[in-house]
Chain A
């Protein structure tokens, strides 16, 4: 099973600043990686798929990069609605696996 490791566990960021979230896969997953956002009491929402493609309706301040085993989600100019937990997920190999999540909180 591919282990996805996200860092940091918690990220404190001020409004308007940039947040950089990392995700590492224990094996090569090519570019078959997605990022999801989950707010308290809500279902996860797909932000990025194929490592760098924004899902429908996702603002341009969200961007993804990386391939192989190292991936990054960048949120440029954090807005109040961006404070949430973010998960990465690989879908290159069975069983699809998620990282443990990064919580982005207000500094």
Chain B
């Protein structure tokens, strides 16, 4: 059974930093791309960042580029999101998702499995 379990959320002050983790199991972590998708309270879904299966190619939404860094540890089957210079508008539930990848290694952001989400609140 594919499982994704996020952790690391909490209450942060504006300008602060936080690292989210997503521990995975039930499939070959090194064979799939991954993404982070967020949802502000009572709002819709917003894709944040994606990473290919090798951890070589990253993609970011304009709203987080330069502040967030996505990475993965294949030995731990874990995805990370390092968040810096946090803003109030980053307040959201953050989901990690499993994505597809083409034979040539291009990320396909078709999110077939989702974690339960972790809440990040940025407030003074």
Overall SS of chain B's interface: strand
Is A64 on the interface with B (CB-CB < 8 A)? no
Chain B: interface residue total (CB-CB under 8 A):
20
Query: Which residues of A (65-89) have their CB < 8 Å from a CB of B?
Result: 87, 89
Of A36, A43, A49, A95, the most chain B CB neighbours within 10 A belong to A43
The total number of A-B Cβ pairs within 8 Å is 53
Nearest-neighbor residue (CB-CB) of A4 within chain B: B44
Closest A residue, CB atoms, query B4: A43
Residues of B within 8 A of A43 (CB): 95, 114-117
Would you call B112 and A100 a contact (CB within 8 A)? no
Residue of B nearest to A45 (CB): B114
Interface size on A, residues (CB 8 A): 22
Which chain B residues have a beta carbon within 8 Å of chain A's beta carbons? 37, 44-47, 50, 59, 61-62, 95, 108-117
Interface positions of A (Cβ within 8 A of B): 32, 34, 36, 43-46, 49-50, 55-56, 87, 89, 91, 94-101
